[in-house]
Structure 1
Amino acid sequence: MIQNFAIDQAATFESLLFLSCEPKTAFGDAFRQETTKDGLPKWEAQLVARFRQFGRATNEIIKVGLVAERAPAEDLAPATPVELVGFEIGVMDKKDRNGNVTGAQVWYRCQEVRALASTTPRPRRNEAATQSEAAAS
């Protein structure tokens, strides 16, 4: 049984930092990139996910699948804080050779990896004018 769940990134993670994004290669062939049925290339982004577990900060590297014509995060530098658009988790039964359920297989995917906007507060309009006047004098 396969189930997909939408992830509320802000409620789940304290932060997500981009590490890299590479073509997802076909099983058993390190030189052939996997594609969808429609022929779109598949990619795999690696990120550091920071979250709280039992009251303590925990960091894990997660791999997130994407589908895109070209490299989806080529303009992102390593350690860039990011948000994942359309972020979801998939869960399916993991079975042995006899078809017996032995656990669960989990994967992540998203539609887009996007850099977070700057979190530096901008001065208010009057403050900016006051700062400009102070700098001029």
Structure 2
Amino acid sequence: MANDVSNLQIDQAASFAGMAFLGCTPRMKFGSENQQDITKDGRLKWDLEILCGVRNQLQQKVENRVFKVGMSSRSNPGEGFEMFDKCELRDFTVGVSEKQRRHENGAKELTGVSVWFTASEIVRVGESVTAEAA
């Protein structure tokens, strides 16, 4: 893998016993404490915290994990949600890319991977229409 990036769609029904909203905060520009980051087309960047009951197929049990999920929106996508509201994420995706270190001789060394999660919108379980997420 030479600086490959892989994005995989997450099958929420197969992967999780349930999901609950914990919170939503603005993603700040790198190095800034008070300026929210934006996309190239002007949408604000947000970080959602989602509690997921992850199905552990090997041990036949459910393990709770908190996922930080990136989302861009013109307004706060968590507005109107209360903590622990059951939710679903549209276009829930995991991304993976290589971390490399470049040596003085120009050689590259794989040092690990970066993993991130994104979604296009958040909805309450059972709802099909949401406020603008685009």
What is residue 128 of structure 1 aligned with on the other side?
A: none
The one-letter amino acid of 2:87's match is V
What is residue 104 of structure 1 aligned with on the other side?
A: 113
Q: Unaligned stretches of 5+ in structure 2?
A: 128-134
2-structure distance, mates of 1:22, 1:97 = 34
1:117 to 110, 122, 126: 126
The one-letter amino acid of 1:73's match is G
1:86 to 85, 91, 97: 91
What is residue 132 of structure 2 aligned with on the other side?
A: none
- 1:26 partner SS: coil
1:32 to 15, 32, 35: 35
- TM-score calculated relative to the size of structure 2: 0.82
Rg (Cα) greater in structure? 1
Decide which moves more: 9-18 or 53-62: 53-62
Shift of 1:117: 2.1
- 1:21 partner SS: strand
What is residue 75 of structure 1 aligned with on the other side?
A: 80
2:5 to 2, 5, 18: 2
Q: Unaligned stretches of 5+ in structure 1?
A: 119-137
The one-letter amino acid of 1:17's match is A
* Dislocated runs of 4+, deviation >4 Å: none
2-structure distance, mates of 1:57, 1:46 = 18
| CA deviations over 1:40-85 (Å, ceiling 9, x no partner) | 1101100111112222221111000111000012011000110001
Q: Sequence identity of aligned pairs in percent?
A: 33
Query: Aligned in 2, Cα 1:26/1:97: closer, same or farther, shift over 3 Å?
Result: farther
| CA deviations over 1:60-111 (Å, ceiling 9, x no partner) | 1100011100001201100011000111111100223544211111111001
Aligned CA RMSD, in angstroms, stands at 1.4
Decide which moves more: 26-35 or 78-87: 26-35
Higher helix share: 1
Matched, 1:12 2:15: yes
Number of paired residues? 118
